[in-house]
Amino acid sequence: GAGVSQSPSNKVTEKGKDVELRCDPISGHTALYWYRQSLGQGLEFLIYFQGNSAPDKSGLPSDRFSAERTGGSVSTLTIQRTQQEDSAVYLCASSSNPTDTQYFGPGTRLTVL
């Protein structure tokens, strides 16, 4: 079946602009995660959605970052007023439940000039 998809695959933007990243999880997966990975670094947790529960936003680095998940499926991660330090690969993952294997999308490589 189809895996996790993300769009765009690459995004180049100017400092100060807003960007929106999209994630389509595996159908039926109730848990959805956003991570950020800078070059040569480990995964940095950003936000977690589980079913209809309130999302866990504890990993968002600043109030410029927000995410939503509509209808329990597609999720968008929005970064407002982008800064150069926001440049990274943004990875989305989904799982059938919080304790199960997470399946990752190919990521969106964001470059802020």
Partner 1 sequence: RKEVEQDPGPFNVPEGATVAFNCTYSNSASQSFFWYRQDCRKEPKLLMSVYSSGNEDGRFTAQLNRASQYISLLIRDSKLSDSATYLCVVNRGLNYGGSQGNLIFGKGTKLSVKP
56 binds partner 1 (CB under 8 A): yes
With H, G, I as helix, E, B as strand and everything else as coil, classify residue 53: coil
The residue within the footprint of partner 1, chosen from 5, 13, 30, 50 (CB under 8 A), is 50
**Those residues with Cβ within 8 angstroms of residue 89's Cβ, 6 or more apart along the chain or in another chain:** 36, 37, 38, 107, 108, 109, 110
Q: Per-residue x/- mask for partner 1, residues 3 to 42, rule CB under 8 A?
A: ----------------------------x-x-x-----xx
The residue within the footprint of partner 1, chosen from 13, 22, 59, 96 (CB under 8 A), is 59
Question: What does the alpha-carbon distance between residue 26 and residue 20 come to, in Å, rounded to a whole number?
Answer: 20
The residue within the footprint of partner 1, chosen from 13, 20, 73, 106 (CB under 8 A), is 106
The residues in 76-105 that bind partner 1, with binding defined as CB under 8 A, are 89, 91, 95, 98-105
The residue within the footprint of partner 1, chosen from 58, 63, 70, 84 (CB under 8 A), is 58
Question: What does the alpha-carbon distance between residue 11 and residue 81 come to, in Å, rounded to a whole number?
Answer: 15
52 binds partner 1 (CB under 8 A): no
Q: Degrees (nearest 5) of the Cα angle 7, 69, 38?
A: 50
